[in-house]
C-alpha cells in the first residue's frame, strides 16, 4: 500500500552526511554504479559521501527526486526503472538520485526510513515527502507533476544537467518530440512567467476549447499564482466562518499545493453544502478547476465528483 505525504519543504537534518573527498562509486566519474541500478541521462547513484554535492547542491537549481531503495526489495528495481524512464521523458525538469539504503544507512537514518522503496524530493536543500511503496507509471507521473508545481511556486524553475548516458532501450520506439503547440506556455512557465503561461494556455483554449492538456496546464498555473501570497490568517478565517467563500477557496488551494488533495476536496464540498446561489456556484466551479489540476482519472477526483453530486442534489 502506497502512502503519500506531499507537502512544502520541511526540516530534516541532513548535516551528518559526509562531504566527498573524491568521486564516489556510482557517481559521475566514479568507478561504477551498484548492481540493479537504473540508468538514464538524469539518473545518479548516490552515496553518503556524495549526497551533499550531488543532491543538496543540485537541488538549488532543479528538483532532485531521491529514491531510497534496497536490492532486497523486489519492487525497488521496478520502481527505479519507472522513475528513470520518466526522468528521461521530463528532460531535466528533475534529477533522479537513487540511494541503496543497505550500503548507505546514514542516508536512510536521516530520512527516518523504515521500509523501502521510499521517494522523497529535495527542493533547495529541504525534503518534500512524495510516496512510499511501488506505484505504476501513471501514479508516479501525478506525484512528479505536483512536485514540479510546488517547485515553481517556490521559485525553482531551472533544469538539471545530464549526468549519465541515456538508458538503452532497444525494444522501444524513439520518444516523440515535445508538442510545439504547448511550447510557448511551457517556456513561459520555465522562465517563471506565470502571467505569460496563463495567457498562452488561454490562447490555446480559445482555438480549441476541448484541449484537455491546455485546460490542465492553465488550472495548474492559476493555482500556483493564487497561492503565491497567502494571508497568514486565512486558516483562522476559514475555521471561524464556514461560509467565508474567499477563505475556504484559498485554504483549499494551499492544501492542494501541499498535496493534501482529499482535504482540499472535502473542504470545498462542505462549503458547497453551507452556501447557496452565486456563492455555491463559485465554489463548485473552483472545485471543478482543482479536479483539472489533479486529473480526471485520479481516484480521488472520481470519488469527489460523486460527493459533489450528492451535495448539489
DSSP, residue by residue, 205-251: HHH-TT-HHHHHHHHHHHHHHHTSS--TTHHHHHHH-TT-HHHHHHH
Same domain assignment for residues 191 and 128: no
Contact in structure between 289 and 224 (CB atoms under 8 Å): no
| Confidence bin at 177 (pLDDT 50/70/90) | low
At 117-151, the pLDDT tens digits run 999 999 988 888 888 888 888 889 888 988 888 88
Is pLDDT of 9 > 50? no
The predicted pLDDT at position 73 comes to 83
pLDDT at 307 (0 to 100): 93
* Statement: residue 170 has pLDDT above 60: no
In which band, very low, low, confident or very high, does the pLDDT at 3 lie, cut at 50, 70 and 90? very low
Pair (58, 92) in one structural domain: yes
The one-character DSSP state at 106 is H
pLDDT category, 65, cuts 50, 70, 90?
A: very high
More confident residue, 160 or 34: 160
Is residue 122 located within the same domain as residue 194? no
| Judgement on whether residues 189 and 142 belong to the same structural domain of the protein | no
Q: How far apart are CA 50 and CA 23, in angstroms?
A: 8
pLDDT at 23 over 50: no
Q: What percent of the chain has pLDDT over 70?
A: 83
Q: Is residue 139 part of a domain?
A: yes
> Is residue 275 domain-shared with residue 222, that is, in the same domain?
no
Is the residue at 40 inside a domain? yes
Domain, as residue range, for 280: 230-312
Same domain, 103 and 135: yes
Q: Average model confidence (pLDDT) for the chain? A: 82
Final residue belonging to a domain, choices 169, 203, 228: 228
* Domain boundary residue, one of 169, 195, 228: 228
Number of domains making up the chain: 3
pLDDT value of position 37: 53
Q: Does one domain contain both 224 and 268?
A: no
The pLDDT of residue 176 is 58
Residue 211 inside a domain? The answer is: yes
Digit-coded pLDDT (tens) for 189-212: 777 788 998 999 999 999 999 888
Q: What is the DSSP letter of 296?
A: T
Residues 40 and 150 grouped into a single domain:
yes
Same domain, 150 and 40: yes
Instruction: Tell me, yes or no, whether 113 and 221 share the same domain.
Output: no
How many Cα atoms sit within 13 Å of 173 on the Cβ side? 2
Amino acid at each position: 500500500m502506497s502512502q503519500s505525504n506531499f507537502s512544502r519543504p520541511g526540516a530534516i537534518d541532513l548535516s551528518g552526511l559526509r562531504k566527498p573527498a573524491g568521486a564516489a562509486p556510482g557517481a559521475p566519474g566514479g568507478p561504477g554504479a551498484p548492481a540493479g541500478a537504473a540508468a538514464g541521462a538524469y539518473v545518479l547513484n548516490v552515496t553518503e559521501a556524495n549526497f551533499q554535492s550531488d543532491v543538496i547542491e543540485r537541488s538549488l537549481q532543479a528538483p532532485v527526486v531521491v529514491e531510497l531503495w534496497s536490492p532486497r526489495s523486489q519492487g525497488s528495481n521496478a520502481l527505479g526503472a519507472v522513475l528513470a524512464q520518466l526522468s528521461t521523458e521530463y528532460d531535466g525538469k528533475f534529477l533522479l538520485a537513487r540511494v541503496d539504503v543497505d550500503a548507505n544507512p546514514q542516508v536512510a537514518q536521516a530520512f527516518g526510513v523504515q521500509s523501502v522503496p521510499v521517494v522523497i524530493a529535495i527542493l533547495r536543500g529541504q525534503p518534500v515527502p512524495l510516496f512510499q511503496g511501488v506505484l505504476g507509471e501513471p501514479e508516479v507521473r501525478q506525484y512528479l507533476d505536483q512536485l514540479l508545481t510546488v517547485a515553481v511556486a517556490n521559485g525553482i524553475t531551472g533544469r538539471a544537467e545530464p549526468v549519465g548516458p541515456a538508458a538503452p532501450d532497444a525494444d522501444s520506439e524513439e520518444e516523440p518530440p515535445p508538442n510545439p503547440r504547448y511550447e510557448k506556455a511551457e517556456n513561459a512557465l520555465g522562465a517563471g512567467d506565470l502571467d505569460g503561461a496563463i495567457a498562452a494556455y488561454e490562447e490555446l483554449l480559445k482555438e480549441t476549447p476541448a484541449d484537455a492538456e491546455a485546460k490542465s496546464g492553465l488550472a495548474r498555473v492559476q493555482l500556483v499564482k493564487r497561492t503565491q501570497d497567502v494571508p497568514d490568517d486565512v486558516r483562522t478565517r476559514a475555521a471561524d466562518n464556514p461560509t467565508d467563500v474567499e477563505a475556504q477557496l484559498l485554504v483549499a488551494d494551499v492544501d492542494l499545493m501541499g498535496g493534501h488533495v482529499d482535504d482540499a476536496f472535502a473542504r470545498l464540498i462542505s462549503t458547497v453544502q453551507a452556501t447557496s446561489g452565486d456563492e455555491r456556484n463559485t465554489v463548485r466551479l473552483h472545485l471543478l478547476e482543482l479536479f483539472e489540476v489533479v486529473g480526471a482519472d485520479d481516484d480521488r477526483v472520481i470519488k469527489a465528483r460523486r460527493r459533489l453530486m450528492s451535495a448539489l442534489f
